[in-house]
Amino acid sequence: MQTPYSTESLPQERWLPELRRIVTKVNRTFSRVFAKIGCAGEVTLHDQEDDYDRYAINIKCVSAGCFTPTFCCNVSSMRAGAAVSA
């Protein structure tokens, strides 16, 4: 089933740079907000070339006094048109 947002309808070079830009912007804001509360946070894109089922948004955070990053959330299988629940 092809949706208007299907990865099959757009070449990777058209959407991947924009996706990376958005994730970078979210990461800057997320890191800044976590720093204000004395913690560290990071949002990254895990991309796997043409294996779109393995793409993921990783959200990591470290609370005050903790030196080991913890995955707060890993939103995987972010295929276009896929339902994502919080």
Instruction: Please report how many Cα atoms fall inside a 13 Å half-sphere around the Cα of residue 80, on the Cβ side.
Output: 15
The mean pLDDT value for 63-85 works out to 50
Model-wide pTM > 0.75:
no
pLDDT of amino acid 67: 57
Note the pLDDT tens digit of each residue in 4-59.
Answer: 555 566 778 888 899 999 999 999 999 999 888 888 889 999 887 777 788 889 88
Question: For the chain, which residues make up each domain, given as ranges?
Answer: 10-76
For the chain, the average pLDDT equals: 73
Residue with tokens 């470290």: 62
Distance from C-alpha of 66 to C-alpha of 47, rounded to nearest angstrom: 28
DSSP for 21-71?
Answer: HHHHHHHHHHHHHHHHTT-EEEEEEE--TT-GGG-EEEEEEE-TT--S-EE
